[in-house]
Amino acid sequence: MTKIRNLQKTLLSDNWYTLNKFNFDIQDKNGNWESVEREAYDRGNGATILLYNKENKTVVLTKQFRLPSYVNGNEDGMLIEACAGLLDKDNAEDCIRKETEEETGYRITKVDKVFEVYMSPGSVTEILYFFTGEYSKDMKVSEGGGAEDENENITVMELGFEEAYKMIASGEIKDAKTIMLLQHAKLNGLLE
């Protein structure tokens, strides 16, 4: 078990989310102590879902502008993604049901938790809770597109599962959570 002592936290930024600097001592495998300094970005925890229709063999994904991808070489900044959102004060299941309706326009009640993941543990504290959920046309209650007060401008996409899966290899889907959910669906035969 890793041993840590003298953990000190300094707030560097509290603008969009929080960025903290941590100073601490960590004991290595030989028992020696080393002083370390790291920064960690805290944006809260989140949830994501792959909506799928087994009968039609389709999935619902979203497309939206993502500034970090744009400034890191994504020419138009647009990413195709599974529906997702921050938990805020909700539990993961309530959050993903709410986000699903806001972003995609589908009101779902049953969701299945797949796993939970630290998405970028070297610099971000976030745990992301992964879900799958079946949808049907009668669950569509709005056009979706995201919450008006969040400037999301989301495009809802209904794609054939195989088409979406091939978009991983073609590079059209580059979002990790989406790739993980599509691979989970493929490996577990969710749309067979």
* In the chain, % of residues over pLDDT 90: 89
Task: Map residue 181 onto helix, strand or coil.
Answer: helix
Instruction: State the Cα–Cα distance between residues 139 and 40, nearest whole angstrom.
Output: 39
14 shares a domain with 76 = no
152 shares a domain with 99 = yes
Question: In whole angstroms, what separates CA 31 from the centre of its chain?
Answer: 37
Supply φ then ψ for residue 150, to 5 degrees: -110, 5
107 shares a domain with 67 = yes
174 shares a domain with 108 = yes
In a domain? residue 56 = yes
Kindly report the CA angle at 184 between 182 and 189, in degrees rounded to 5?
Answer: 95
Q: Give me the domain span that covers residue 98.
A: 46-187
pLDDT digits (tens, 9 = 90+) for 42-59: 999 999 999 999 999 999
Which is higher by pLDDT, 192 or 159?
159
Tokens in use for 29? 């495998």
H helix count then E strand count, the chain: 4, 10
Instruction: State the Cα–Cα distance between residues 43 and 56, nearest whole angstrom.
Output: 36
What per-residue confidence (pLDDT) applies to 35? 96
Kindly report the CA angle at 87 between 111 and 124, in degrees rounded to 5?
Answer: 115
In a domain? residue 143 = yes
What per-residue confidence (pLDDT) applies to 153? 84
* In the chain, % of residues over pLDDT 70: 98
Cα-based distances in Å from 69 to 5, 7, 79, 98, 103 = 36, 32, 8, 25, 20
pLDDT digits (tens, 9 = 90+) for 169-189: 999 999 999 999 999 999 999
pLDDT digits (tens, 9 = 90+) for 106-150: 999 999 999 999 999 999 999 999 999 999 999 999 988 877 766
Tell me how far apart the 2 most distant CA atoms of the chain are, in Å.
Answer: 62
134 shares a domain with 106 = yes
pTM metric for this prediction: 0.92
106 shares a domain with 17 = no
User: How many separate domains does the chain show?
Assistant: 2
Instruction: State the Cα–Cα distance between residues 109 and 95, nearest whole angstrom.
Output: 12
CB 53 within 8 A of CB 190: no
CATH code, domain carrying 137: 3.90.79.10
